[in-house]
Amino acid sequence: MSKVAELFPQFQFENLDQPTFKEDSVREVLILPLLYALGYEQAHIVRSKALKHPVLTVGSKKRPVTLIPDYLLKVQDNYAWVLDAKSPNQNIQTGANVEQVYSYSIHPEIRTKFFALCNGRAFALFRQDEQLPILYFELAELDAYWDELSAYLSPSSFQSGKTLTYVLKTPVRKVEFDYATRPLLEEIRVKKQAAKRHFGVTAYFTRQSWNVVREYIKNFSQKDDLVLDPFGGSGITAIEAMMVGRRAIHLDINPLSVFIVDSLSAPVDIEHLQRSFDKIKATYVKNEPKTTHKINQYLKNYSYPKGYVLPKNSDVPKVEKLFSKAQLAQLAFLRYLILQEPNESIKKSLLLAFYNTVSLCNLTFHATPHGGGNHFGYYYRYRMAKIPTILDVMQVFERKFERVLAAKKEIFPNINENTIHNLKAVKQSATDLSFLNNESIDYIYTDPPYGKKIAYLDLSIIWNAWLDLPVTPADYQLEAIEGGELGKSKAEYNDLIAKSIAEMYRVLKFDRWMSFVFAHKDPEFWHLIIETAERCGFEYAGAVAQKNGQTSFKKRQNPFTVLSGQLIINFRKVRRPRYIIKAALGARIGDIILQTIEGVIAKNNGASLEQLNDELIIKGLELGFLDLMKKEYSDLTPILLDLFDYDDQTELFTLKTGRQFKTNIDLHLRVRYYLMSYLRRMDIEHTPARFDEIVLYIMPLLKNGTTPENQTILTVLEDIAIRIDADSWKLKTPGQQQFFD
């Protein structure tokens, strides 16, 4: 049976021409059967809800204007979309009717992503950010559009952001790898200096922690899969993909970025590389220009960058002014010696050490009291040091070469002559991946540039000039930044990021993942990423707070303004994506905050203020109420101290002793929390914990009289405890436990 015949069995569409068939008939005869068929029960359909207009009033007494949408459709206690009925002769594609329903969708109490109109003849569906319908069809032709309509508007097409789940972090038994159901990773402890292939080898402005990237690649891809990073930067993604047996594509508009990956990964004979360095060093030391006469002579005989114009905010106008004459002569001579090397891979490896030498041997560099020093990269502009620290060029070059040599040795088992064909480094804009086929990529991990923070091409002039790497006006046009020398607007920046996400969607295979690093301070950019990704067809799978190893003073002062690290936003490319529903402002936000706090405490068996802050930022961003939360809950401490216990030694918040969870936390998670609390207490008291006593302790604490089967308690108990006799249990040590996400 066709869908039209099923939903409207006795209806003749010719009836729409009768003058008696008006808006109320459209509602009862056509719209209600459609809503039921989509999967909405009566409890999910809110009829004629009165809304006060947030701005307009009438009369001298300023009576509020009332808005009354015909239907509000609810999913998970939030409004998913709004629908208005119109008479058959009414226009539902443009004009005042569309504007009216749009006003419902943006109302603070509603805030839906979609709104729709139906006049009996046709159905028009709009996204809040689109001027034209994203779906329009004659109702008599519903059969041809049913699958698409259902994909947009059925209750299963919506989600309320990230949910706390209860799954084993380390599976008890090995299961087949399933791309579509990969778990989200928890925060990963950063290992900053443990990899020789990254630490001290490349100079760049920002970089991801190599072990974090590595774990994401391992989690979301398999051996021989193709991993893409379209904002490649210093090349962490590509190198780590190769280190774990994947293939990799590294993209960046900055030629320096491509040079870094190409040079670091270039296979070399280690002994040949060492001999080449020794030869260059011996020649340099013998002929180093130190006297004024020799310096001037070398400046005539050996080329160095001239005429490269620096950004307007620089302390000097051109790149050569960043160096003393001696530095220019010495670096020019060193570069000349390197360029005489006939083996391309050896030459690239030596140039990698050279460009790192340029970073320190210039007039922006100054030593710091605690050791080390800062240069232009620290200030994100070409700032001349008040008292420059002049370092010995060959000593710096030798130190940098030793780092390159150690990196080459470390990567050799995985990146060598036999595997290098699996790595491609390309100078290309992320907005144009036309060299890649549709659905050719298995995993994307990327850390895009963020707004005004760093003008990468501007700040790479010093390196690109010394390495003879060309940067064109077109490159500046395509660079995804806000501001810079071209003074790009936020809209231009947003457009470039949106085009990049669209291209990432095109090249990614179905049921595969994209992990998008979010370090922007503006919540508006979060919504740009989510909205663009959803519009392309991605499904949001959750964001994870990833620390960078330290907490700033600013973070402690402004908990709902600054993340202690960054977010890694995870998306899936699926055939029927679900859309995030925003929470209605002012409605249930206190409940959401409390549930989030209890969920984090339950999941971690106690939570720090920082953990709670980061999880609440994610929830506030996901559900669109971060601004309200910042205003009304700027300080969580009073709420936490009133409702929870705090341990001064561990700095963790826990449930007050004997208190129930107030919100709907997963049954298994609650059982596990209470079990761990009870077993810890018994352990401190050196008292055996017997199963019957455990059950009697847990039952009263479970909300609303929920009574789990004894087998449920036993299953959780076996994960966290060991049996010490026939009926007694003891909490496992941390090394023995199978922790839960």
Q: Is 710 helix (H, G, I), strand (E, B) or coil?
A: helix
Question: Does residue 437 share a domain with residue 401?
Answer: no
Q: What is the mean pLDDT of residues 663-682?
A: 81
Q: Total structural domains in the chain?
A: 4
Contact 115, 82 (CB under 8 A): yes
Distance between CA atoms of 579 and 161, rounded to whole angstroms? 9
Q: Summarize pLDDT for 337-348 with one digit per residue, the tens.
A: 999 999 999 999
Do 304 and 328 form a contact (C-beta atoms < 8 A)? yes
Give the end of a domain, one of 367, 383, 411: 411
Residue 709 has a pLDDT of 67
Rounded to an integer, the average pLDDT of 223-242 is: 96
> How far is 640 from 626, CA to CA, in rounded Å?
19
Q: Which residues, in sequence order, are CB contacts of 28 under 8 Å at separation 6+?
A: none
Which of 356, 379, 411 is the last residue before a domain boundary? 411
Q: Does residue 598 share a domain with residue 527?
A: no
Q: Which residue has the higher pLDDT, 241 or 678?
A: 241
Helix axes 589-604, 667-684, angle to 10 degrees: 50
* Kind of pairing between the strands at 441-446 and 508-518: parallel
Same domain, 319 and 398: yes
pLDDT the model gives residue 60: 45
Q: How far is CA 83 from CA 78, 99, 119, 142, in A?
A: 15, 13, 11, 17
Q: Are residues 614 and 723 in the same domain?
A: yes
Q: Establish if 197 belongs to a structural domain.
A: no
Say whether 646 sits in a helix, a strand or coil.
strand
**Cα torsion for 165, 168, 169, 172, to the nearest 10°?**
-170
Number of H helices, E strands in the chain: 27, 24
Which DSSP symbol is given to 267?
-
173 lies in a domain? no
Residue 338 CA to its chain's centroid (Å): 40
Check: CB of residue 439 under 8 Å from CB of residue 252.
no
What does the alpha-carbon distance between residue 556 and residue 575 come to, in Å, rounded to a whole number?
Answer: 42
Please state, for a pLDDT cut of 70, what percent of the chain lies above it: 90
Do 570 and 609 sit in the same domain of this protein? no
Residue 183 within a domain: no
Q: Is pLDDT of 332 > 90?
A: yes
Q: Within a domain: residue 392? A: yes
Give bridge partners of residue 374 from the DSSP assignment: 366
Model pLDDT for residues 625-666, shown as the tens digit of each residue = 776 676 666 677 777 888 899 988 888 999 888 788 887 777
Whole-number pLDDT of residue 627: 67
- Name the domain boundary from 365, 384, 411: 411
Summarize the confidence of residues 422-444 as an average pLDDT.
Answer: 97
Asked if residue 285 has pLDDT above 50, the reply is yes
The residue range of the domain holding 252 is 202-265+419-575
Band (595; pLDDT cuts 50, 70, 90): confident
Average pLDDT over every residue of 277-289 = 98
Residue 187 lies in a domain: no
Q: Which of 181-185, 655-659, 716-720 has the highest mean pLDDT?
A: 181-185
Residues 624 and 538 in one domain: no
Residues contacting 595, CB < 8 A, separation 6+: 663, 664, 665
**Same domain membership, residue 48 and residue 19:** yes
Summarised one tens digit per residue, pLDDT across range 539-580 is: 999 988 887 654 433 344 444 444 557 889 999 999 999 999
CATH at 548: 3.40.50.150
Highest mean pLDDT out of 387-391, 654-658, 691-695: 387-391
For the record, the structure tokens of 626 come out as 């971060």
User: What value does the mean pLDDT of the chain take?
Assistant: 87
Q: Is the pLDDT of residue 741 over 50?
A: no
Which two three-digit tokens encode residue 230?
């379209």
- Does 462 map to a domain? yes
User: Which of 524-528, 558-562, 586-590, 645-649 tops mean pLDDT?
Assistant: 645-649
- Separation between Cα atoms, residue 249 and residue 503, nearest integer Å: 14
Average pLDDT score over residue span 318-342 = 97
531 and 464 in contact (C-beta within 8 Å)?
A: no
Statement to judge: residues 318 and 396 lie in one domain: yes
Residue 722 lies in a domain: yes
Check whether residue 712 and residue 671 sit in a common domain. Answer: yes
* Residue 168 resides in a domain: no
Residues 620 and 704 in one domain: yes
Q: How far apart are CA 9 and CA 1, in angstroms?
A: 10
Q: Are 229 and 239 in contact (CB under 8 A)?
A: no
The sheet with strand 721-723 has its strands ordered as: 689-690, 728-731, 721-723
Q: Where are the beta strands (DSSP E) in 375-482?
A: 423-427, 441-446
Lowest mean pLDDT among 199-213, 344-358, 697-711, 718-732: 697-711
If asked whether residues 71 and 136 sit together in one domain, one would say: yes
What's the mean pLDDT in 229-235? 95
Residue (of 67, 73, 8, 80) closest to 42 by Cα position: 73
129-158 mean pLDDT: 95
Rounded mean pLDDT, 393-415: 96
Please state, in angstroms and rounded to a whole number, the distance separating the CA atoms of residues 534 and 525.
14
Contact 627/582 with Cβ under 8 angstroms?
no
Kindly state whether residues 545 and 468 are assigned to the same domain: yes
